[in-house]
Structure 1
């Protein structure tokens, strides 16, 4: 079963972390990637740009509307994800808890129900 593990960033919270804490998060991602790659559970991972570099598109009455920023008006934003292929939801939750960001913010675990 494949699961999407989404990571969310809160810039205000991130700004309160020490350099050592930030470096631990970065190094923790390296360790996590190694873990899921060696176990054969890694499918994909991506880090995403901040909302200031995002375009949100909507079509209203055939007219394309474009705005800078994310779809959801919030300080926190989707900053990256992992897709893992695991035996169970319990394993996906176990892996999500090992992502270093989970110490500071939530990591969402969502089952992939369709792939194109």
Structure 2
């Protein structure tokens, strides 16, 4: 079963990582990526640019609306994701707990809906 592990952290939490520790933090992610890839559990992973680079797109009554910046004022922002294969929820949580960003922010784990359940 596939799970999406969404990485959230505030700008303050990320700023709390000393600049001299950032290369080690990034390398910890890359090493974890390699380990998950080697185990066959990593489907895809990507980091996202900062929330202020986002655009929010809505179509209401046929009218397009585009707003710059994050959807809501919130302290935590979506910073990236891991799409993983796991046997069950417990294994997905175990995988998410190994993501280095879990030590700074939080990881939301959500199962991917089977194709027959998607609109």
Q: Which moved more, 1:16-25 or 1:89-98?
A: 16-25
**Alpha-carbon offset, residue 95 of structure 1:** 1.0
Pair 1:108-2:108 in alignment: yes
Distance 1:82 1:31 in 2: 14
1:68 alignment counterpart: 68
Q: TM-score, normalised by structure 1?
A: 0.90
Q: SS at 2:5's partner residue?
A: strand
Q: Distance in 2 between matches of 1:20 and 1:98?
A: 22
Q: Is the 8 A contact 1:7 1:79 kept in 2?
A: yes
Structure 2 residue aligned with 1:33: 33
What is the aligned-residue RMSD (CA, Å)? 1.6
Aligned to 1:14: 14
Equivalent positions of 1:26-105 (< 5 A) are 26-105=26-105
Runs of 4 or more, structure 1, over 4 Å off, are: none
Inter-partner Cα distance in structure 1 for 2:36 and 2:72: 30
Deviation at 1:20, TM superposition (A): 3.9
* TM-score of the two chains, using structure 2 as the length reference: 0.88
Could you say what secondary structure the match of 1:46 adopts? strand
Q: Which range is displaced more, 34-43 or 17-26?
A: 17-26
Structure 1: runs of 5+ lacking an equivalent: none
